[in-house]
Amino acid sequence: MITVKKSQSVDWLLPFSCTELTRVMNAMLSAIGHEGKDVEINLVDDATVADLNSSFLQCDGPTNILSFPSTEDGSAQNIGWLALSMDTLERECFLYGQDRTEHALRLIAHGMLHLAGYDHGEEMFALTDVAVNAGLAATR
């Protein structure tokens, strides 16, 4: 099950509806071999993601997405939760001329792959493309 938690101040920056986001994330999970797993995504602002970044990773400032793998013993169903900064998403799209929908999908796929246990490298980058394509198909 996909759970979406929104901050009223920034959720309007998401380039698709919560229903589409759920469909996208389910398609991505299926594409990376984790069909039916539980994931929570929190749509937050820069202040919230900066607090999380500092508290959990001892890094200063905001980032685009954070992944928090599940620490529940014996729960293979719940793979964790994500914090997606809508402020950073918007800023990166403006600064780098990126399409908001595709960039959002790429960040979500990246975060979900971390939840699934992947680390940066060729395999993760290839699976990111697979997940983004599945997400794009789910928005149509």
Specify whether the CB–CB gap between 126 and 12 falls below 8 A: no
Sorted by sequence, the CB contacts under 8 Å of residue 80 that are 6+ apart come out as 39, 40, 67, 68, 69, 70, 115
Specify whether the CB–CB gap between 49 and 88 falls below 8 A: yes
110 is in an annotated binding site: yes
Instruction: Quote the radius of gyration of the chain (alpha carbons, Å).
Output: 14
- Cα distance between residue 121 and residue 7, in whole Å: 32
34 is in an annotated binding site: no
How many other CB atoms are there within 10 angstroms of residue 71's CB atom? 8
Nearest to 42 by CA among 32, 34, 51: 51
User: What residue numbers does the annotated binding site for Zn(2+) cover?
Assistant: 110, 114, 120
User: What residue numbers does the annotated binding site cover?
Assistant: 110, 114, 120
